[in-house]
A and B are shown apart, each in its own frame.
Chain A
Amino acid sequence: MLHWASSSMKRRMPWLASLLVCGFLVLAFLLIDSHSASALPTPSIKVNALPAFARKYGMPCSSCHEAWPKLSPFGQAFKDNGYQMGNDRDAPIFQQPAYWPVTWRITPQWHRDSLGRVGVDGPGVSPVEARVTTHGFDWSGLDFHTAGTLAKNVSFYVLPASDNTGAFHFEAVWARFDNLLGSSWLNIKVGKFELDNLQSEKRILTLSTFGGSYQNYHFQPATENPSGVAVPFTFGIGDNQVGVEWMGHSKNDRTRISASLLSSNDGNPGLPTSRGYDGFISASQAFEAGSLGVQRVGVFGYFGQAPTYFQYNQTVGGTTTGVAGTGIGNKSFYRVGFIGMWYLKKLDFTTMYFRGWDNAFLGTGTAANAALPTGARAPTWNGGLIETHYNLNPQLILINRLETVRMSQQALPVDPAGAPGTVPSSNFGDIDVVTTGFRYYPFISSRAGFAFHNEFSIFRQRGASPTGLDQTNSSLLFGFDFAF
């Protein structure tokens, strides 16, 4: 796959993109050199802003982040302890009254996205497939992170987030009782929160259209949700979910375990579809390997159910829709995985194996009170991820990710001829993504975060074009990612 990726990149990467990549690399390394050989922070740098936790505790971003937003083991322990250091300075009573725990983040950028085999109008408005490429200056959505402690051992997090049009939604809303009964093994969180994924998608180091998410966290077989499906089944283990979480950890955070009871609505507000509940569990153990660092291995599993049709419908103006929250005919699904985080001093690898299974009704978009298509089966798939970081120093991190999804069983019979009611091949929907880039932090402070972000990602999905051919897309992004 690496061979495929590199050859494909050579084939498709336009000369302009190559020029820009080279230009940014040269600029970045010039900047690195201009500081010092060791590229260490200098005390002369002054910034006027105060990101919430850095301001509260007076520590540089690099304490809690290997390279922000990715957490270091120290930052993970701080988060697991309810955004508390564990000393007497955690309660807001110790803050200046003017302290306001808010940080916002946005990324002005130039990006180029190229989508292969997109269905477009051809001559005479007959449909054809074409490569559609766009590029230009743009900006990301805006995140307002407000988080901290309401009192000692009572923490909170509220994250109104917008897309780049300014349309806001609540990405996270939760309160947490920490260290109940004086034990770090008893922490209860209620609200909408990120699942306790060791490889946090919310702290992903890549931002471009095709590299900015983990495919395994959102993959659903291509046969799901056909046109006209009664209740669309959408789920992503990377999506924030709504429910209650118990989490426990050892004092030094080497052992972590959590279990959640969640509403089966994929984190959407107002219970739009289901009255069901899902469960998520996660456990990991870290161990010290001398000077190499803290190694960690873990497992996780999400066991859910989703409705396939509505109990009640309403027809208004000739349009029939299901009554929100009355979804029934629940069918189950699961996602499980193993993860390893391996540190070799400045070099680290995250490896993940992922397994998904959906009930045949979900896999074919069939209501539970209807008959399954002939030959329908539960779709299953496997996925893998290898993410590599080289953390040259707190100011520069090189990133590479290889991610793959492989269908092991299609929901519908495979027919290479593409007969109606079949899928064209056993690898229909398979995904490969290679993402590479770097983030350079020209200064490290306890006041604000700033990164030159440079990234290229190439994505291929089998049989995804309108005519059933492979779709190959790419995204290139240069941006100023900053938090204040």
Chain B
Amino acid sequence: MRTAKITKLVLGIAAALAVPMLASAQGESHVGKYAGDTGAGKQLYYRYCWGCHGFRGDGNGENGPYLNILPRNFVAATFKCRSTPTGTLPTDEDLFNALTRGFNNSNMPAWITLTAQNRADLVAFIKTFSPRWKSDKPGDPIAVPAEPALSLQSIQHGKELFTKLECWKCHGAEGRGDGPSASTLTDSNDQPIRPYNFAAGSRFKCGATNHDLYKIFMTGLDGTPMPSFADVIKPEDAWDLVHYLRTLQITQKSPELTLWMSTKEGAEYVKAQKVGGTPTGSGIKQ
């Protein structure tokens, strides 16, 4: 009788210990050589993140009402910047990169000053907010083929695709984010959202490289009107579009813009796009 009681007690204690351990295991992250720990991530989250993302990770932090781009809702687990197909969860590395990079056009800063281990810990904890991380697995990262050589033909073809795929409807014919649909766009929170303004030249939301730009329109930005074009265009066409989009960034030096400006059409176009005047103080070149 006494032995049975002791056995029940031991099993009970073991079960009580096992549940949080299992929960912890579900929330772990793996980024390169770093294994994220939810416990450590929790402490970091409640030091750095809860003011915007909320105590429960639902994006309703005390500053939520004051931000014009709402903080990410980790409970919904819909993420813009992914290497995975639209509708799927991002990889741990995607979340890690978002933390490291920050979002240029929002209040989310770059957390590069935290150690890589800290960032991996935060990724692990962020994943505990949504049951999706238990029921779904992250998607497989899309394959990004090697970038073909830059050419005028590539840029010209990209320009045609920009029209054909109706990118201009949101981004505008000159890429200024002022297309005819721009003012009607909302995100998954029913908040107005503005298409990216290529002419302003600030960093893309999900990275700065051609590789990042390729991924943006091949995976789409979930939770925003920006769809995935993975099923619409071939990879080689996508690279042509990348090359053309770079020429719309008229305030950013790039090989694409340099090549484009070497043509009469390109030079006249860029000259016409550049606006004179005094700076606004926003740091955005006019």
Contact = CB atoms under 8 A, between A and B. Distances in A.
Interface of A: 38, 40-43, 46, 57-60, 62-63, 73-74, 76-78, 85-94, 151-153, 251-253, 288, 290-291, 293-294, 393-394, 445-447
Given A74-B111, A151-B283, A252-B113, A87 B106 contact: yes
Given A86-B102, A86-B109, A394-B47, A288 B115 contact: yes
Interface in B238-286: 279-284
Nearest to B56: A43
A253 B43 CA distance: 22
B117 interface: yes
Secondary structure call for the B interface = loop
Contact of A88 (B111, B115, B117, B282): B282
A87 B104 contact: yes
Given A59-B51, A291-B40, A91 B282 contact: yes
Given A43-B54, A58-B67, A446-B62, A93 B40 contact: no
Contacts of B121: 291
Question: Which of A42, A91, A291, A293 counts the most chain B CB atoms within 10 A?
Answer: A291
A43 B281 contact: no
Interface in B42-61: 43, 46-48, 50-52, 54-56, 60-61
Interface of B: 37, 40, 43, 46-48, 50-52, 54-56, 60-63, 66-67, 102-118, 121, 202, 279-284
11 contacts: A42-B55, A43-B55, A59-B48, A60-B47, A62-B48, A85-B110, A87-B109, A91-B283, A93-B282, A293-B115, A447-B62
Given A59-B51, A288-B115, A94 B282 contact: yes
A450 to B, nearest CB: 15
A57 B107 contact: yes
B117 A93 contact: no
Nearest to B109: A85
Contacts of B110: 85-87
Contact of A394 (B46, B54, B280, B284): B46
B47 A63 contact: yes
Given A91-B282, A152-B281, A446-B62, A41 B55 contact: yes
A77 to B, nearest CB: 4
A394 B118 CA distance: 16
Contact of A58 (B66, B105, B113): B66
Given A87-B104, A290-B117, A58 B52 contact: yes
A60 B49 CA distance: 8
A62 B47 contact: yes
Secondary structure call for the A interface = loop
Given A85-B107, A445-B62, 12 more contacts: A42-B55, A58-B67, A60-B48, A74-B111, A85-B109, A85-B110, A86-B102, A87-B104, A93-B281, A288-B116, A293-B118, A446-B63
Nearest to B65: A58
Contacts of A152: 281-283
A252 B280 CA distance: 28
The 3 A-B pairs at the shortest CB distance, nearest first, are namely A152-B283, A58-B63, A85-B109
A413 to B, nearest CB: 52
A90 to B, nearest CB: 7
Contact of A41 (B50, B66, B202): B50
A78 B47 CA distance: 16
Nearest to A251: B112
Contacts of B104: 87-88
Nearest to B110: A86
Given A41-B50, A87-B106, A74 B282 contact: no
Nearest to B106: A87
Nearest to B111: A74
B113 A77 contact: yes
Given A58-B63, A94-B282, A290-B117, A446 B48 contact: no
Nearest to A44: B55
Contacts of B113: 73-74, 76-77, 252-253, 294
A288 B119 CA distance: 12
Contacts of B202: 88
A151 B55 contact: no
A456 B284 CA distance: 51
A87 B103 contact: yes
A74 B48 CA distance: 9
A184 to B, nearest CB: 11
A393 B61 CA distance: 19
Contact of A90 (B37, B51, B67, B283): B283
Nearest to A253: B113
Nearest to A50: B66
B19 to A, nearest CB: 17
Contact of A87 (B43, B46, B108, B279): B108
Nearest to B52: A58
Contacts of B106: 87, 89
Contacts of B54: 43
Nearest to B114: A74
B138 to A, nearest CB: 24
Contacts of B46: 38, 40-41, 393-394
A87 B105 contact: yes
A113 B278 CA distance: 58
A473 B222 CA distance: 64
A341 to B, nearest CB: 14
B148 to A, nearest CB: 30
Contacts of A445: 51, 62
Nearest to A47: B62
Given A90-B283, A93-B281, A445-B62, A63 B51 contact: yes
A38 to B, nearest CB: 8
Contact of A252 (B52, B112, B281): B112
A87 B107 contact: yes
Contact of B117 (A58, A85, A253, A291): A291
Nearest to B45: A40
Contact of A151 (B66, B118, B281): B281
A293 B283 CA distance: 33
A376 to B, nearest CB: 49
Nearest to B69: A89
Contacts of B102: 85-87
